Chains A and B, each alone.
Chain A
Amino acid sequence: MTTAPSYDVILKLEDVSKVYAGTVAVKQANFEVRKGAVNVLVGENGAGKSTLMKIIAGVEQPTAGRILLDGNEVSFSSSGDAVNRGIGMVFQELNLFGNMTVAENIFATREITNRFRKIDRKAQERRAGEFLDRLEAGIRPDMLVEDLRIGQQQLVEIAKAVSLDARILIMDEPTSALSAAEVEILFKVIADLKAHGVAIVYISHRLEELIRIGDYITVLRDGRITGQEEMRDVDTQWIVRQMIGSDAKDFAKADGHVPGEEVFRAEDICLPRVTGGLAVDHVSLSLRAGEILGIYGLMGAGRSELFDCIMGRHGHASGKIFIDGKQIRERDTTRRIRRGLALIPEDRQREGLVSILSVASNLTLASLSRFVRLFHIRGGAERQAVSQMVRELSIKVADPAQEVSSLSGGNQQKVVIGKALLTGPKVLLMDEPSRGIDVGAKADVFRTMRKLSRDGLGILFATSDLDEVMALSDRIAVMSNGRLTGMFDRAEASEAAIVAASAFGHGPAPHILPQNLESNTDD
């Protein structure tokens, strides 16, 4: 490995392992973090990236191995220890207090106080304002965090980490909710930090981003480091190969079947927001049997809210929906499921699964009435349906009586899909169906989507992954700010046009928007 002399190693992990009860999350990892450089870390979900970073940030302690900071062995017993040594981290899950102001969040546990230990609110807000200005976020330090949209919250999280004046700054998926313009600003900030000699550890799934800003790249697979190179020596192919052990993203090819009649139509769906304005703004779309309609949009664009309206989860939503040309007047989820709608929610843990119930109980939860005679659940019929679904979706489970929480993310997602399919839907709504699952399971999910569409199911799927929407959709709808801002046939869709439509209403530089407009973009 060639090392440019200007990049000194500031932090080094030697043979670090982390073992949780029964599972090895990180296996003998050797990892170097270089000063004044962006050290990129990639790997599939569950590869051990976050665990490795938590070890560096002092949140977790390694089971074995040494951590060398500036050549001296150190051990962090808490994240406070690491912060004191100049290590800051932007966590993937937002660690913010929604009920406090931006400034209070940035200085949480490090409050600026006067002589009498009273918090100096003015000073905090002034200092916070300086950091926020660097991020050109247009966020006032006295705003409540819960009033910000997700992207802005992510910027606050970043400002908080930057304010630590860290020598090593770990960023775990910092751009997942940012608009293109905000990403550009973040990259400028990163370049600035780099110039000041800060070592950045950058984790992301977006390969384009990594290749653009990374100086060094480290690839993790199954807790092992499978490659460590200078970024200029590698290309996307190499990264993907190290990550998954083979070359291609498997999107399952289209089979060229022609969609049938219209199976579903939504007309003029509106959902008012609590804070005023519309979360879903007069959206109309139609879907044909056997068609996959991808809905692309950034976080907070209103995709999930649209699905919620269609499923009848919001009593105050307006608009009409039709299945097979007949209007659905039922307003509650239970009866809409019976009419042939099914939702695979975005957040598997919170909305998809009852984690303490068995795989079998989860699978049949939405379709129990199918197995009931009078009021008795026929165990045989239920077991048969469960084992058939386990086979069809190739869910890896030894015994369906096992608790669903013991499964891997991908298999859990398959259980959620199986639950929806057992209701015998005509229209399947999939909200980010590939989020948080490994490549193998993703390919399975995509293959299942293809197969279902071949069988005549209409599929609406929401995603913020451009590759995914381009590869899987027959048609692509784009949402931004609650509105439908584009509708493309696959043949005529271009990435540029889709991205442009998804930024509609966000503006190229959100920070110059007047405040009242800005608040309309809340999640």
Chain B
Amino acid sequence: MTDIPARAAPSSVSSGSALLTLMKLRTFIALIAVLVFFSIAAPNFLSAANLILMAKHVALNAFLAMGMTFVIITGGIDLSVGSIVGLCGMVAGYLVLNGIDLQIGYTIYFNVVEIALITLAVGIAIGAVNGLLITRLNVAPFIATLGVLYVARGLALLSSDGRTFPNLVGKPELGTTGFGFLGAGRLIGLPVSIWILIVVALGAAYLARYTPLGRHIFAVGGNERAARISGVRVNMVKMFVYMFSGFCAAIVGLIISSELMASHPATGESFELNAIAAAVLGGTSMSGGRGTIGGTIVGAFVIGILSDGLVMMGVSSFWQMVIKGLVIIVAVVVDQAQRRLQQRVTLMQMAKAG
């Protein structure tokens, strides 16, 4: 988000500016509001244990939402992330339990680091498939990723015949132990998954702001033709955002399997919708060109805290859905109002300036 110039201006402009600042900070205000509300309404809400637990929940959605943010900024959509989560979890589980059978009497077992890397590669590869469908075969992003959603989910189910890979503790003699570290481990008091989130989020935010690739992502979403004529490699940019989205989904798949010490093929169903919701709540424009990683993270926290808080208050899950839907709609309505107000304020400032 850009700052509005805080020049001294007569009352009407400054009141508009003040309102505008408030609207721009709306997601942050919403975050504080839900925190304050639940700390009063729900007992134990503010306990350290509960906050960390919620953060772990939120992290899962935040990863997906970050990948989704880049995709949406380029003007696309990635519906396949939930399925990628499921499939990557199954890949990791399969490798821990079975390794790769070479068909010649030998089976290769990988250590946990290798398994993680392979799983991430699978996520990136599925993202690349999305990207290729969209850039080379000109399939609309919605359709391409919808197709991949089904294919990936189907493959996840096929990998185990629909069963769960249980008990992923691994065997010390095969070097496959330690898979639980991602989901249950802690570093300096924080869960590992939170640390990973911090690292990926900082990296993504840096990418968006300070690298040519980041600039190009915004340019492609703002005006693809102009970007192309300016020499932006539009197809490469699109490939990247879908691969990054697949990468984020693979991380989530790993973390969930690790937390549960089991891989279930239905994991991640409808996660894509939560990711889209978080991105939109954080100010990402579905028409492309606008959005920030910071906003998306805050959006993910609002949604996550809202649902966890409502659970703690004992609100029925049916009502939770209604409330979540309303929050998303209100967020977009406020977003539109902000755009209009922004234009008005800009025009007024221009009129004042000359």
Contact = CB atoms under 8 A, between A and B. Distances in A.
B347 A365 contact: no
B140 to A, nearest CB: 19
Contact of B227 (A343, A365, A372, A379): A365
B229 interface: yes
A337 interface: yes
B353 interface: yes
Nearest to B346: A406
Interface in A363-397: 364-366, 368-369, 372, 375-377, 379
Interface in B165-201: none
Contacts of B228: 313, 333
A358 B230 CA distance: 15
B212 A343 contact: no
CB-based closest 7 A-B pairs: A22-B347, A354-B222, A366-B230, A337-B231, A368-B212, A334-B231, A354-B223
B225 interface: yes
Interface in A1-48: 20-23
B61 to A, nearest CB: 27
A377 B211 contact: yes
Interface string A168-191: 000000000000000000000000
B223 A355 contact: yes
Contacts of B218: 354, 357, 361
Nearest to A406: B346
Contacts of B344: 21-22
Majority DSSP secondary structure for residues of B touching A: helix
Interface in B195-236: 210-213, 215-216, 218-219, 222-223, 225-233
Contacts of A338: 231
Q: Determine the interface band of chain A, counting residues with CB < 8 A from chain B.
A: 35 or more
Contacts of B350: 22-23, 406
Nearest to A398: B353
Contacts of B24: none
Contact of B215 (A311, A332, A353, A361): A361
Interface string B324-354: 0000000000000000000110111011010
A365 B2 contact: no
Interface string A394-432: 000011010100100000000000010001000000000
A21 B13 CA distance: 13
Contacts of B351: 22-23
B210 A376 contact: yes
Given A21-B344, A377-B210, A368 B226 contact: no
A350 B225 CA distance: 7
A20 B213 CA distance: 38
Interface residues of B, number: 31
A282 B233 CA distance: 29
A332 B215 CA distance: 20
Interface string B1-14: 01001000000000
A332 B232 CA distance: 10
A388 B27 CA distance: 37
Residue among B210, B212, B346, B353 having the largest count of chain A Cβ atoms under 10 Å? B212
Given A333-B231, A372-B212, A399-B5, 6 more contacts: A22-B344, A23-B350, A334-B232, A365-B226, A398-B353, A403-B346
Contacts of A401: 2
A22 B348 contact: yes
A357 B232 contact: no
A214 interface: no
B227 to A, nearest CB: 7
B26 interface: no
A345 interface: yes
B264 interface: no
B153 interface: no
Contact of A352 (B222, B226, B346): B226
Contact of A343 (B216, B229, B348): B229
B229 A313 contact: yes
Nearest to B211: A375
A369 B232 CA distance: 11
A94 interface: no
B289 interface: yes
A379 B209 CA distance: 10
A234 interface: no
B18 to A, nearest CB: 18
A351 B229 contact: yes
30 contacts: A22-B351, A311-B229, A334-B232, A337-B231, A338-B231, A343-B229, A345-B226, A345-B229, A352-B226, A352-B229, A354-B222, A354-B226, A354-B227, A354-B289, A355-B222, A357-B218, A357-B222, A358-B2, A361-B218, A364-B215, A366-B230, A366-B231, A369-B212, A372-B211, A375-B211, A376-B211, A377-B215, A398-B5, A399-B5, A406-B346
Nearest to B352: A22
A311 B353 CA distance: 39
A356 interface: yes
A354 B347 contact: no
B290 interface: yes
